[in-house]
Structure 1
Amino acid sequence: MHTKRNPYIDRAKHCIGLDRKKPYIRHGKKFYRPYRNYFATGRDYEVWEVMESAGHAKRGEQNQHGGYTFHLTRAGLDWLGKQLGIHIYDEGEDT
């Protein structure tokens, strides 16, 4: 059975590199430390506007493609982690 993809989760995962690297498991729980936290959009950034209005993302500077660079907030990292069953660390957070 094929499940429908969620564009919010897909973009958030890509933003922090979770689509390329897997979380690690310690004491039976999943953890992930992002190696990046940014997503550069083109002119179509409606999904990111929704995430921004929910407090899950912040908009940065406009880019050369007519879009913006967004990053996930702590609330966005927590939301994504809850969706996936993973604790996602922030840059300044200790392991």
Structure 2
Amino acid sequence: MARRTARWGAVVGLGAVWWWAVLRLALAPGAGVVEGAVAAGGWGLSLLPVHCVPKSRAAGALRQGRWRDAWRAGVRGERGGPVSE
């Protein structure tokens, strides 16, 4: 329970700092580099793909090398292999 509370406290605290920086950039004439860095850093973190899984575990993932195998199979068929009509 303490870990959960600490995690939520960190999330709320960092969110408050980010909003402070964004609002200061938008509304205060004296906003500077620190506010810009905090706002840009927080926005950049939101772009991270945190819900990704390795390709091998993804639902519907195809094995690696499938295009190469398909290409080679097509080339073999054109060079006189069995071709269905």
Q: What is the TM-score normalised by the length of structure 2? A: 0.25
Q: Which has the higher contact order (CA 8 A, sep 6+)?
A: 1
**Which of the pair has more CA radius of gyration?**
2
Per residue, is there more strand in 1 or in 2? 1
